Structure 1
Amino acid sequence: MMTSIKQIIRKPGKALIFFLLIIIVTVLLSFSTVSMLQTNQRIDTVEGQFSTIATVEQELRPGDAFLHADMLDFEGAEYVNPPETRPYYLARVPGVNNSGLHSHIESASVHIAEFTPVESGGYTEPVKMQIVKSYYDKYDHTKANWIGFGSQEKDLEAGDVAYFLQDYIKTPTSYEKGKTYIANFQYDDSVSQESGIPVYSVSGAPFTTQREGELGQKIESTVMPSQCRRFDEVTEDFWGPGGLGMIWTEWIEQLKLWDRNWLPVIPTNGVQLLPTFHSKNAYMDRGREITAEEFKKGSNVCMISDKIALNGIKVGDTINLPMYMAFYGFQPDRFYTFEFPFAYDFSPLNAEGEAYGPFWQKEYEVVGIYRQLTPGAGELYGEAVIIPSKSVTVSDENNIVYYAPMNSWSTSFQIPNGKISEFNTALHKAVPEASKLKIVYNDNGYEEVMASLYNARLSTALLLGASILAGLVVILLLLYFFVVKEKKRTAIERSLGMTKNQCRASILSGLMALAVPAVLLGGWISWGMMNIEAVPVQEGGHSEDNIETVSFSREYSLWAESESSVTDIGFEEVDIYFQMLSYFLVPLCIVLTVLLLTVFIVNRNLKIEPIILLGGRE
Structure 2
Amino acid sequence: MLLKNSLKQMGRTKARMIVFLILIVLTVTFLSLGVNLWQTCNGNLEKYGKVFTTVGVVNQKENSVELNQSWNAARKEYTYWDEPIYDYILPISLLDFEGANYIIKPEQRPYYGAYSPDIKVMSSEEEEYVEGKLDSVVEIIPYENCIPSDLVKVKVKRVLYGTYDFEGTDIWFCDEFNDNPGLIEKGKTYITVVSLIGNEHKDSYMEVPYEFFPHNPTISTQKNIKGETVAKDSIPDDKWVEVTDNFYGNEEGMKWKNLGEADDRFFKHTFPIVPTNKTEFLMEFNQGNAYIYDGRDITESEYEEGEKVCIIPKKFAMLNALKVGDNINLKLYYADYEKSVSQTFSAGRVELNFGLLNAEGEVYPVFEDSEYKIVGLYSNTADPEKRPTGYELGSNAVIIPSKSVKNSDEDNIVGYGPMKGYNTSFQIPNGTTKVYLEKFKALGINNLEVEFYDGGYERLSSGMGNLKTVAVILVAVSAATTLAILFFFVFLFISKQKKRTAIERSLGMNRKECTLSMLYGILIIIALGAVIGSFAGFKTADFVISKSTNMETELYSTAFSNWVNNADKMAEVAETSVPVNYLTPIVLCLVVILVSIIISLILIKNNLKAEPLELLSKSEE
Normalising by structure 1, report the TM-score: 0.86
Residue of 499, 503, 527 corresponding to 1:516: 527
Cα displacement string for residues 392-447 of structure 1 (whole angstroms, at most 9, x for unaligned residues)? 12110011011111111111222223333322232343x44x22222223444433
Q: CA–CA distance in 2 between the matches of 1:339 and 1:233?
A: 37
Tell me how far 1:531 sits from its aligned partner: 5.2
Q: Report whether the alignment pairs 1:386 with 2:396.
A: no
Cα displacement string for residues 569-611 of structure 1 (whole angstroms, at most 9, x for unaligned residues)? 443423xxxx221121111111111111111111122222223
Moved more, 517-526 or 472-481: 517-526
Q: 1:201 to 1:231 in 2, by over 3 A?
A: same
Structure 1 segment 511-550 matched on structure 2, within 5 A:
511-530=522-541, 534-536=546-548, 537-539=550-552, 542-544=556-558, 547-550=561-564
Residue of 447, 464, 477 corresponding to 1:436: 447
Cα displacement string for residues 116-156 of structure 1 (whole angstroms, at most 9, x for unaligned residues)? 22111125233332232233334xxxxxxxxxxxxxxx921
Q: Report whether the alignment pairs 1:209 with 2:232.
A: no
Q: CA–CA distance in 2 between the matches of 1:410 and 1:513?
A: 68
8 Å contact kept, 1:283–1:372: yes
Residue of 76, 89, 106 corresponding to 2:99: 76
Q: CA–CA distance in 2 between the matches of 1:226 and 1:597?
A: 98
Residue matched to 1:59: 61
Q: Report whether the alignment pairs 1:314 with 2:337.
A: no
8 Å contact kept, 1:442–1:550: no
Residue matched to 1:398: 411
Tell me how far 1:545 sits from its aligned partner: 6.3
Residue of 147, 153, 173 corresponding to 1:122: 147
Q: CA–CA distance in 1 between the matches of 2:592 and 2:348?
A: 76
RMSD over aligned Cα atoms: 3.1
SS of aligned partner of 1:414: strand
Moved more, 5-14 or 515-524: 515-524
Q: Report whether the alignment pairs 1:284 with 2:292.
A: yes
Q: CA–CA distance in 1 between the matches of 2:383 and 2:482?
A: 58
Tell me how far 1:346 sits from its aligned partner: 1.1
Residue matched to 1:348: 356
Structure 1 segment 437-476 matched on structure 2, within 5 A:
437-476=448-487
8 Å contact kept, 1:162–1:197: no
Q: 1:532 to 1:343 in 2, by over 3 A?
A: closer
**Structure 2 residue identity aligned to 1:313:** L
Q: CA–CA distance in 1 between the matches of 2:34 and 2:314?
A: 46
Q: Report whether the alignment pairs 1:165 with 2:174.
A: yes
Structure 1 segment 58-207 matched on structure 2, within 5 A:
58-61=60-63, 64-99=87-122, 105=130, 108-138=133-163, 155-158=165-168, 160-169=169-178, 172-190=181-199, 192=204, 199-207=211-219
8 Å contact kept, 1:51–1:278: no
Q: 1:269 to 1:137 in 2, by over 3 A?
A: closer
SS of aligned partner of 2:166: coil
8 Å contact kept, 2:263–2:356: no
Residue matched to 1:580: 582
Residue matched to 2:493: 482
Q: 1:589 to 1:123 in 2, by over 3 A?
A: same
Tell me how far 1:105 sits from its aligned partner: 4.3
Q: CA–CA distance in 1 between the matches of 2:313 and 2:333?
A: 20
Residue matched to 1:45: 47
Tell me how far 1:375 sits from its aligned partner: 4.9
Q: 1:82 to 1:243 in 2, by over 3 A?
A: closer
Q: 1:301 to 1:466 in 2, by over 3 A?
A: same
Q: CA–CA distance in 1 between the matches of 2:558 and 2:95?
A: 20
Residue of 270, 273, 281 corresponding to 2:278: 270
Tell me how far 1:330 sits from its aligned partner: 0.8
Q: 1:169 to 1:225 in 2, by over 3 A?
A: farther
Residue matched to 1:421: 434
8 Å contact kept, 1:255–1:341: no
Q: 1:260 to 1:490 in 2, by over 3 A?
A: farther
Q: CA–CA distance in 2 between the matches of 1:68 and 1:87?
A: 14
Q: CA–CA distance in 2 between the matches of 1:19 and 1:570?
A: 38
Residue of 357, 362, 365 corresponding to 2:365: 357
SS of aligned partner of 1:74: coil
Moved more, 366-375 or 36-45: 366-375
SS of aligned partner of 1:601: helix
Residue matched to 1:31: 33
Q: CA–CA distance in 2 between the matches of 1:244 and 1:11?
A: 112
Residue of 496, 506, 514 corresponding to 1:495: 506
Residue of 557, 571, 578 corresponding to 2:577: 571
Q: CA–CA distance in 1 between the matches of 2:131 and 2:9?
A: 96
Q: CA–CA distance in 2 between the matches of 1:612 and 1:338?
A: 100
SS of aligned partner of 1:239: helix
Residue of 20, 23, 47 corresponding to 1:21: 23
8 Å contact kept, 1:265–1:387: yes
Q: 1:371 to 1:552 in 2, by over 3 A?
A: farther
8 Å contact kept, 1:309–1:369: yes
Residue matched to 1:614: 616
Q: CA–CA distance in 1 between the matches of 2:464 and 2:177?
A: 60
Q: Which sections of structure 2, spanning at least 5 residues, go unmatched?
A: 64-84
Q: Which sections of structure 1, spanning at least 5 residues, go unmatched?
A: 139-153, 561-566
8 Å contact kept, 1:208–1:221: no
Aligned residues with identical type, % of pairs: 30
Q: 1:610 to 1:331 in 2, by over 3 A?
A: same
8 Å contact kept, 1:161–1:197: no
SS of aligned partner of 1:483: helix
Cα displacement string for residues 92-116 of structure 1 (whole angstroms, at most 9, x for unaligned residues)? 134444459x999467342332222
Residue of 565, 585, 606 corresponding to 1:551: 565
SS of aligned partner of 2:248: coil
Q: 1:382 to 1:582 in 2, by over 3 A?
A: same
Q: 1:540 to 1:92 in 2, by over 3 A?
A: farther
Tell me how far 1:344 sits from its aligned partner: 3.6
8 Å contact kept, 2:313–2:379: yes
Residue matched to 1:299: 307
Q: 1:460 to 1:44 in 2, by over 3 A?
A: same
Q: 1:440 to 1:515 in 2, by over 3 A?
A: closer
8 Å contact kept, 1:421–1:544: no
Q: CA–CA distance in 2 between the matches of 1:268 and 1:424?
A: 24
Normalising by structure 2, report the TM-score: 0.85
Q: 1:319 to 1:419 in 2, by over 3 A?
A: same
SS of aligned partner of 2:156: strand
SS of aligned partner of 2:307: coil
Q: 1:543 to 1:226 in 2, by over 3 A?
A: farther
Residue of 374, 377, 388 corresponding to 1:366: 374
Q: CA–CA distance in 1 between the matches of 2:41 and 2:565?
A: 25
Q: 1:55 to 1:535 in 2, by over 3 A?
A: same
8 Å contact kept, 1:89–1:266: yes
